[in-house]
Amino acid sequence: MKLNRVFKAVAVASVLGLALTGCGGGGDSAASSGSDSFDKNAKTEITFAGWSLSSTPEFQTLADAFMAKYPNVKVNVKEYSADDYDKQLTADISSGSQPDVFPIKNLQKYYTYPQSGGLADLGDIANTYKSDKNIDISNYELDGKYYAMPYRQDSWVLFYNKDMMEKAGVATPDGTWTWDDYTKAAEELKTKLPAAGYDANSVYPIYQHNWQSVVQAFALA
């Protein structure tokens, strides 16, 4: 397999109703069917989850952008701890006090949260994206239903310290590397960096998290 760019989608899941129940005047039937019979201009409030807002301002930015586009909807951002996000969110889901919209931080949770029965089937929304070649939502299908949609994608790239690798006598990536080439370079760096005057345990001649992200992606596929 070539060492190509890897894209990772982070899911956003919603509880039963999402904006359909919050904006709707038609009750649960309108929410569950995903129809457009509700009043889109009605004043309403929804809760959106985020973690560690002081260091992760993107959640408030998303809420502000949504409210700017839909001024009739007030989005309250509920803050969770980054370290205990999954634990706290699971507790809220179990007690029925979960936010209306929340990001999935651990993709493994996407396969367990629907078991609570508190997530909405976003099939109608998913259908509008199935023909979009830039968005792959196939991994979000569970038993014919979609409980989440991707809200961002990250570009995972390989970068390295060229001077350090050349000083250690290790070939630098040339665009044709496979994962075998990557592994070989890592093994060479482990032995050659100390000889070149570097502490192999305290430097990043190649950023290893691109490998970690790929392994995680395959593990969750």
Which pLDDT belongs to residue 53? 92
The DSSP bridge partners found for residue 2 are: 178
In this structure, what token pair is assigned to residue 171? Answer: 């070939």
Task: Give CA–CA dist 10/105, Å, rounded.
Answer: 7
Closest CA to 93 of 85, 20, 32: 85
Which pLDDT belongs to residue 158? 73
Residue 203's pLDDT band, with cuts at 50, 70 and 90, is: low
Is the pLDDT at 10 greater than 50? The verdict is no
Task: Give CA–CA dist 113/94, Å, rounded.
Answer: 10
Task: Dump strand ranges (E) for 53-147.
Answer: 73-80, 101-103, 141-142, 145-146
Closest CA to 98 of 15, 20, 17: 15
Taking only the tens place, the pLDDT of each residue in 107-166 is 778 888 888 777 888 888 888 888 887 777 887 888 898 888 887 666 666 778 888 888
Run of H or E including 7:
strand 6-14
Which pLDDT belongs to residue 88? 94
Domains defined along the chain, listed by start: 9-152 (3.40.190.10), 162-205 (no CATH)
Run of H or E including 164:
helix 162-167
Average pLDDT, the chain: 73
Taking only the tens place, the pLDDT of each residue in 30-62 is 333 344 445 678 899 999 999 999 988 989 999
Q: Which residue has the tokens 């919050």?
A: 22
Task: Give CA–CA dist 73/23, Å, rounded.
Answer: 8
136 vs 214, residue with greater confidence: 136
Which pLDDT belongs to residue 109? 81
Distances (CA, A) of 80 to 87, 98, 156: 10, 11, 26
Spatial contact of 3 and 158, defined as CB atoms under 8 Å apart = yes
Closest CA to 102 of 73, 59, 156: 59
